[in-house]
Amino acid sequence: MIESTFIHKCTIKRLVATGAKDASNLPVKSPSTIGSDLPCRLVERQRRWYENESADGADIGEYKLFLSDGVDIQNDDVITVTLEDGTVLTESFEVKRVMKRRALSMVHQSAELKVV
């Protein structure tokens, strides 16, 4: 089963409406933890280094996250990852897209992430 490869732990946070309104009469949102210590696997797919005249350079990575099928994850959720040795990554990741994966013997989700 693919779950045996989930060597990391993830925390998922989502902005949810508090019921209050701001000065512009828009709903006030605050981060809420949707799940913590969820088995997952973070994979760095590619790294690029960009340089231009207006910046010293930008290190941009493409990441993919694998999770069990029943985990509640949506676009724009923010993910923090704890590695297998207990190290919590300093970067947080925003979910760009969630995809359900189905095969003959396994069902799971994958999410494309960007660093925030």
pLDDT in tens, 54-92: 656 555 678 999 999 889 999 999 999 999 999 999 999
Q: Which residues contact 46 (CB under 8 A, 6 or more apart)?
A: 61, 62
**In whole angstroms, what is the distance from residue 67 CA to residue 60 CA?**
23
Helix (H, G, I), strand (E, B) or coil at 16: strand
Q: How many residues does the chain have?
A: 116
CATH number for the domain including 21? 2.40.10
| Tally of structural domains, the chain | 1
pLDDT at 7 over 70: yes
Range of the domain at 48: 2-115
pLDDT at 24 over 70: yes
Residues 32-37, mean pLDDT to the nearest whole number = 97
Q: Which residues contact 37 (CB under 8 A, 6 or more apart)?
A: 9, 10, 11, 82
Per-residue model confidence (pLDDT) at position 94: 95
Q: Which residues contact 3 (CB under 8 A, 6 or more apart)?
A: 39, 68, 108
